[in-house]
Chains A and B, each alone.
Chain A
Amino acid sequence: MVDPGRIHTFAGAALIGGAMVLFGAGYAIFHALAGLSRSRRFAYISLVSYAALAACALALVPLLDLEGWWLGLIALLLIGYFVAPRFIWRLSLAVHGEGGGPPEGAARPED
């Protein structure tokens, strides 16, 4: 578990781990915004966020000397964090029964 080489990298790894979750949120939010506005730009930003997430996840491998089970965890994480926000978005639409018709409540005025 303890490798002397890690002494100088654990703190960077911690920040990268935090950044990874932030990029995950960015990916999820922009994917949602892209779905809302059908804007290609949001879709690109969302994919770029995911790329940053993936870069962070892969950077953890050398920084923490991950091997065995932990490499499997990173692989699962890359798949799971890609799929989960898409599924959650689909779920948000489906729970509201959206099937392409006009979104409910869209006509109501703002405050």
Chain B
Amino acid sequence: MAEPGTEWWASESFWRKCAIFVTAFMALVLVLLTFHTLTVIAAGSEAGRVPAYSVINHRIGYEFDDERNHMVPVIGPVAPLFGEALDEEAARALVDHGKLTVQARNCMNCHTLLGNGAYYAPDLTKAWLDPGWGNEQARELLMTMFLKDPPANARTFGTGRRMPNPHLTDDEVRAVIAYLKWMSAIDTNGFPSGFTPLPQGDLRGDAS
């Protein structure tokens, strides 16, 4: 293919090979990294970045890690969601129902989850830990009340933006809250930046 006057490094055949090899190499590296990443981000893996679903049985803290120089989730002592401890499978089913509900109600086209989604409403990554709930004792009740009828319980802070009523069933409300609690325990490398959680109870007690 090389025409007279064309250097080998500018020839069509050289760049065809380059295109193929570069693409194949980068794809291969991506596949290898994907294998590794998927083991790391499996729920409850040893890496501890994505917690097991039964983390909803525990108090979730959020503390500064000196070594990593940002905030990280800390799994505290037993503090079951709605006072009801679940085994791993029941917890997974509850979180799963919550995620399905969040997808089915199209929450992501107003809110962001882990920063991805739309920008019309607040990020939900640390919704469970948001200081807006006041304190740990009132949180479950306030979240339930809010989700049952968001327009009536809206605090729009002067924006006038209210959340429409998604007409969640009682089961869906509990599931969504479980999903948000689990989500808040994901290690996001300190995102969103500088987040300060609501006042925390004891995190260093019996962490069974």
Q: A95 at interface (Cβ–Cβ under 8 A)?
A: yes
Which residues of chain B have C-beta atoms less than 8 A from A106's C-beta? none
How many A-B pairs with Cβ below 8 Å? 26
Which residues of chain A have C-beta atoms less than 8 A from B208's C-beta? none
Segment from B30-38, B176-184, B187-195 that makes contact with A: B187-195
Return the CB mask of B51-62 against A: 1 if under 8 Å, else 0: 000000000000
B10 near A1 with CB under 8 A, answer no
Q: How many residues on chain A are close to B (CB under 8 Å)? A: 9
Of all chain A residues, the one with the shortest Cβ separation from B193 is A2
A1 near B5 with CB under 8 A, answer no
Which residues of chain A have C-beta atoms less than 8 A from B5's C-beta? 97, 99
Cα(A99)–Cα(B6), bound, Å: 9
Q: Is chain A's interface secondary structure helix, strand, loop, or mixed overall?
A: loop
Contact of B3 among A3, A7, A97 (CB under 8 A): A97
Contact of A1 among B4, B6, B7, B190 (CB under 8 A): B190
B70 near A95 with CB under 8 A, answer no
Q: A15 at interface (Cβ–Cβ under 8 A)?
A: no
User: Which residues of chain B from 1 to 44 have a CB within 8 Å of any chain A CB?
Assistant: 3-7, 9-10
Closest 6 CB pairs of A and B: A94-B10, A97-B5, A2-B70, A95-B10, A94-B7, A97-B6
> What would be 14 A-B contacts, judged by CB atoms less than 8 Å apart?
A1-B68, A1-B69, A1-B190, A2-B70, A2-B193, A2-B194, A3-B69, A7-B194, A94-B7, A95-B6, A95-B10, A97-B3, A97-B5, A97-B6
